[in-house]
Amino acid sequence: MHATDFGRTLIIANPAAQSGAAHEVAERLQRFLDMTARASQFDLVLTERMGHAKELAAQAQGYRTVIALGGDGVIHEVVNGLMTQDESGRPALAVLPVGSGNDFAQTLGIEDFSGKDFGALLTCELQRQDIGRIRSWNPASGSGEATVEYYDQTLSVGIDAAIGLGTTELRKKTGLTGAPLYTLSGLEQFGLRYRNYPMSVSFDGAPAERVRAIIMAIQLGPTYGSGYRICPDADPCDDTLDVCYACGPVPRAVALPMFLSAKDGHHTKLPPVRMRRCRHVELTFEEPDYPIQADGEPVVASRIEVDILAGALHVWRPTH
């Protein structure tokens, strides 16, 4: 069996991922690729700070593949760096999930990677994946210009974003990861902090409607929060955004079971929940400082526009 030919490859690894274990995993990966891959060059760079992975991916000229080794945050940064490159020379993306969420990896069919078995890399194929583009406006910046960034899996506003962003501190306090961490953060947010988020929303240029959203998730892949199936039918290769939003007022006693039922995708038929598909979304928020997350990273904005960029990134995915 021939190994996947990644060509000249840059491995971007977050050494802090998985409580520091990722550094060792990265070095094992480099040795594995040297032994198994066809005659190609593999360079390994460890990130040193927030935003470093984005810079490294943006500067990855002359590579066929960039491997992001870490959690969803590193993958998000690498995607944003790759998307600044001209499409004609843009490297393909491969991911090895060594984080606490790993939703993008699950979407690619990479399950339960422990850092010990790199076998899935031996039989990968290239696939074009959609990428979401976010244009955001933040009056506090004073520039009036839109900030442009990209996401590969999830963008959400409201209590689900607050839950995702809240996991960072909780992880440090509890040591939890994955779905238990996300669920605990959810229970915290549904406690004292429960509220709705008034906003106006327009899909595909239709007249805007005002909603009191509890959650507003605009997905490329089906899951967020380490496996919560918020948009169970979302396909990152279909040139379409999948949206799930729940409109209030909804009492906490109804909203909490609704949130928990999303773990298995059983929320979609509940009365407060609306599901739709589109290619362009505009959101205007009635108050500042709403919780907004893109692939788990915070976004600060009073207004955002989201577009789908069809097949914008080549991604290696296992063929099993």
Nearest-10 Cα torsion for 29, 43, 83, 94: -20
254/208: higher pLDDT: 208
pLDDT reported for residue 57:
98
Among 283, 215, 218, 284, smallest CA distance to 246 is for 215
In this predicted structure, the answer to whether residue 33 has a pLDDT above a threshold of 80 is: yes
Q: Place 165 in a pLDDT band, splitting at 50, 70 and 90.
A: confident
Amino acid identity of 223?
T
pLDDT over threshold 80, residue 187: yes
Q: CA quadruple 29, 32, 37, 42: dihedral positive or negative?
A: positive
Structural domains of the chain, ranges and CATH numbers in brackets: 9-99 (3.40.50.10330), 133-310 (2.60.200.40)
Q: Is residue 279 predicted with pLDDT exceeding 90?
A: yes
Determine the pLDDT at residue 82.
98
pLDDT at 239: 98
Instruction: Write the CA distances from 42 to 15, 33, 39, 101, 246, integer angstroms.
Output: 17, 8, 10, 26, 46
Q: How far apart are CA 115 and CA 261, in angstroms?
A: 31
Please state, in angstroms and as integers, the Cα–Cα distance from residue 203 to each residue in 134, 176, 298, 306, 307, following that order.
Answer: 14, 37, 23, 10, 10
Asked whether the predicted pLDDT for residue 197 surpasses 80, the reply is: yes
> What confidence score (pLDDT) does residue 29 get?
86
Ranking 127-131, 132-136, 205-209, 246-250 by mean pLDDT, the lowest is: 246-250
For residues 60, 61, 65, 71, the Cα torsion angle rounded to the nearest 10 degrees is 10
Q: Residue 149's pLDDT band (boundaries 50, 70, 90)?
A: very high
Question: What pLDDT, in 10s, does the model give residues 61-101?
Answer: 999 999 999 888 899 999 999 999 999 999 999 998 886 66
Side-chain-side CA neighbours of residue 257 (13 Å): 6
Q: Is the pTM of this model over 0.75?
A: yes
CA distance 143 to 145: 5
User: What's the pLDDT at 55?
Assistant: 98
In whole angstroms, give the CA distance from residue 1 to residue 37.
11
- Which pLDDT score is estimated for 177? 78
pLDDT tens digits along 168-185:
788 888 888 777 888 888
- Confidence band, pLDDT 50/70/90 cuts, at residue 1: very low
Largest CA distance in the chain: 61
* Pairwise pLDDT comparison (260 vs 115), residue with the higher score: 260
Mean pLDDT of the chain: 90
Q: What angle do CA 196, 266, 281 make, to 5 degrees?
A: 50
Cβ atoms 128, 237 nearer than 8 A? yes
For residue 34, CA distances in Å to 31, 69, 139 come to 5, 17, 50
Asked if the model's pLDDT at residue 156 lies above 50, the reply is yes
Give the CA distances from residue 164 to residues 33, 44, 143, 186, 294, in Å, rounded to whole numbers and listed in that order: 34, 30, 28, 8, 10
pLDDT value at 15 more than 90: no
β-pairing, 154-158 vs 197-203, is unpaired
Q: Which amino acid is at 232?
A: P
Q: What is the DSSP letter of 177?
A: -
